[in-house]
Structure 1
Amino acid sequence: MRAARYYARHDIRIEDIPEPRLLPGTVSVRVAWCGICGTDLHEYLDGPIFVPASGHPQPISHEEAPITLGHEFSGTITALGEGVTSLEVGENVVVEPYIIGAGVPTGPGEEYQLSPDMNFIGLGGRGGGLSETVVVEQRWVHPIGDIPLDAAALIEPLAVGHHAFVRSSARAGHVAIVGGAGPIGLLLAAVLKAQGLTVILSEVSEARKAMAVSTGIADHVLDPTQVDVGAEVRKLTQNHGADVGFECSSVDSVLDMLLEAVKPGGVVVNVSIWGHRPAVDMQKLVLKEIDLRGTIAYANDHPATIKLVQDGKVRLEPFITARIDLDDLIRDGFDALVEHKDTAVKILVHP
């Protein structure tokens, strides 16, 4: 089968590899669509990061580069391993792409995203969505009903936004300021809007500002090159400040803006992955008693996220900006995201 294999920085190859074996307790999924994530882009430009470098196998998967990429994917079940009874061949599904220890509990309330040596299918081994077929443990497979398979490929990043919302403790009626309208920032804003929050979005890209307006996910869109975002947020909230802020850009000035924009005693949730150590104005944090929180991926967020889409509270199709074939992955996928990041939001790949 065809697969995109990560060897090293700037070295991703489309190769023919053997189909994965179906084992007891696993499910074979024929991949329909796979999104290119910002994390994949970081691996391409600056990696290996989550990808285990050659000679340094991942402690749980025991795999090392080259590995198959892709962790935002949807598909159809083609075979069930021995002991799998809760799923059916022919069901359309998405996968919660975790690699965690076999003994780590994943029931309600469990924080398995924080377990030792955690990694992701499509980054740390065990196949990936940028291939024709993937075999995964049944616990990670979520039926999606009649959600279109292309839109369903965005459920994984939408779950990232849902988990950030849960981490924030925000609720309906609150005001949120989202810093950065990349794919995660846009999808997070969609979750916040669906949950009844007033959403203010800060972004410089004209195309992404336009997408935020056209999709209706933001009540106010502010450009930090044109206005003082912190001052505008206070003006919009009768000098109260936002209840919660979300950092989705990995830009120091955006983090600083959020510390200005949230109310005293407010919450700032860092969603982005940083490639450098940011400068943080700790005095603002201290004097305003701001609660700065981290968030990584998701934990039992997929069912609630899928329901938001099934109930029509979040529409995913408008965020898809291109659909490409696996053979065009580098030119029309990775390079397009690097060279046209202002207009390319979510590129889907059909393997």
Structure 2
Amino acid sequence: MKAARYYDRKDIRIEDIPEPTLQPGTVAIDVAWCGICGTDLHEYLEGPIFIPPTGHPHPISGEDAPVTMGHEFSGTITALGEGVDDLAVGESVVVEPYIIRDDVDTSPGQPYHLSPDMNFIGLGGRGGGLAEKIVVQRRWVHPIGDIPLDHAALIEPLSVGHHAYVRSGATAGDVAIVGGAGPIGLLTAAVLKAEGLTVYISEVSEARKNMATSTGVADAVFDPREVDVAHEVRERTNGRGADVGFECSSVPVVLDMLIDAVRPAGVLVNVSIWGHKPDVDMPSVVLKEIDLRGTIGYAGDHPDTIKLVQDGKIDLAPFITARIGLDGLVDEGFDQLINNNEHHVKIIVNPRG
């Protein structure tokens, strides 16, 4: 079968590799669509990061580069391993792409995503969505009903936004300010709107501002080059400020704005992955008693995220900005997201294309 294999920085090859073997307790899936994630771009430009370098196998998967890429994917079940009796061949599914130890408790409410040596399918080994087929453990497979398979490729990044929402403790009627309208910022905003929040977004890119407006995920979009965003938020909240803020840009001035924009005793959730240590206005954090929280990945968020889409509260179609085949992964996918990123939210890949 065809697969995109990561060898090293700027070295991804489309190769023919053996099909994975069904094992007890596993599910075989024909991959339909796989999204290209910002993490994939970081691996391509700066890695290996999550991907285990050649000669340094991951302690759980036992694999090192080259590995098959892709962790945002949907597909159709083709076979069920011994002991799997609660799914059906032909069912549409998405995969929660974790690599964690077999003895880690993944029951509801458990922080399994924080377990030692955690990694991701499609980065740390165990196959990936940028291949025609994959076999995964049953616990990571989530049925999606009649959600279109191309839309479903966005369930994984949408679950990141859902987990950020859960971490914030926000409830319907609260006011949120989101810093940055990249893919995660937009999808986080989509979750917030679906959950009944008023959502403001700060963004400088014209294309991303237009996307935030056209998709309806923001009640207002502010350009910090034109207005004082924190002042605008206070103006619209009777001087109070936002109840919650979400940092989705990894830009220090955006973090400063969010600290200014949230109300005293408000919550600020950092969603973005920082490539450097930013300066943080700790005096303001202290004097305003701001609750600064981190968030990573998801834990138990997929079912609730899937339901938001099934119930029609989130329309994922507008966030798909290109569909390509596997052979065009680098030229039509990675290069576009690197050099023309303002005009793309999510490029999805058909592994059979």
- TM-score above 0.5, yes or no: yes
Q: CA separation in 2, counterparts of 1:269 and 1:65?
A: 33
Q: CA separation in 1, counterparts of 2:92 and 2:189?
A: 26
Structure 1, unaligned runs of 5 or more: none
Instruction: Map 1:245-324 to 2 at 5 A.
Output: 245-324=245-324
Correspondence for 1:144: 144
Which stretch has the larger CA shift, 162-171 or 48-57? 48-57
Shift in Å, 1:56? 1.2
Q: CA separation in 1, counterparts of 2:39 and 2:334?
A: 11
Correspondence for 1:79: 79
Q: What per-residue deviation string (whole Å, max 9, x for no partner) do you get for residues 17-43 of structure 1?
A: 110111100000000000000110111
Correspondence for 1:225: 225
Correspondence for 1:164: 164
Shift in Å, 1:296? 0.6
Q: CA separation in 1, counterparts of 2:48 and 2:264?
A: 39
Q: CA separation in 2, counterparts of 1:266 and 1:153?
A: 33
Q: What per-residue deviation string (whole Å, max 9, x for no partner) do you get for residues 129-179 of structure 1?
A: 000001000010001110000000000000000000000000001000000
What letter is aligned with 1:335?
Answer: D
SS in 1 for 2:28: strand
What letter is aligned with 1:293?
Answer: R
Q: CA separation in 1, counterparts of 2:68 and 2:292?
A: 35
Q: What per-residue deviation string (whole Å, max 9, x for no partner) do you get for residues 206-229 of structure 1?
A: 111111111111001001111111
What letter is aligned with 1:21?
Answer: T
Shift in Å, 1:191? 0.3
Q: CA separation in 1, counterparts of 2:10 and 2:282?
A: 37
Correspondence for 1:30: 30
Correspondence for 1:68: 68
What letter is aligned with 1:300?
Answer: G
Correspondence for 2:112: 112
Correspondence for 2:187: 187
Q: CA separation in 2, counterparts of 1:266 and 1:10?
A: 42
Q: CA separation in 2, counterparts of 1:256 and 1:55?
A: 41
Correspondence for 2:201: 201
Q: CA separation in 1, counterparts of 2:283 and 2:7?
A: 44
What letter is aligned with 2:80?
Answer: L
What letter is aligned with 1:118?
Answer: M
Could you tell me the TM-score, scaled by structure 2's length? 0.99
SS in 2 for 1:253: helix
Shift in Å, 1:230? 1.0
SS in 2 for 1:104: coil
Shift in Å, 1:345? 1.0
Shift in Å, 1:64? 0.5
Shift in Å, 1:279? 1.2
SS in 2 for 1:342: helix
Q: CA separation in 2, counterparts of 1:129 and 1:326?
A: 11
Q: CA separation in 1, counterparts of 2:255 and 2:53?
A: 31
Q: What per-residue deviation string (whole Å, max 9, x for no partner) do you get for residues 226-274 of structure 1?
A: 1111111111111100000000011111111100000011110000111
Could you tell me the TM-score, scaled by structure 1's length? 0.99
Q: CA separation in 1, counterparts of 2:16 and 2:242?
A: 51
Aligned-pair RMSD on alpha carbons?
A: 0.6
SS in 2 for 1:259: helix
Divergent runs of 4+, >4 A: none
Shift in Å, 1:47? 0.8
Correspondence for 1:121: 121
SS in 2 for 1:304: helix
Number of equivalences? 351
Is 1:344 paired with 2:351?
Answer: no
SS in 2 for 1:56: coil
What letter is aligned with 2:239?
Answer: N
Q: CA separation in 2, counterparts of 1:11 and 1:277?
A: 28
What letter is aligned with 1:25?
Answer: G
What letter is aligned with 1:298?
Answer: Y
Is 1:241 paired with 2:241?
Answer: yes
SS in 1 for 2:74: strand
Shift in Å, 1:14? 0.6
SS in 2 for 1:44: helix
Correspondence for 2:334: 334
SS in 2 for 1:338: helix
Shift in Å, 1:281? 1.1
Q: What per-residue deviation string (whole Å, max 9, x for no partner) do you get for residues 277-306 of structure 1?
A: 111111111111111100010001000000
What letter is aligned with 2:64?
Answer: E
Correspondence for 1:130: 130
What letter is aligned with 2:291?
Answer: D
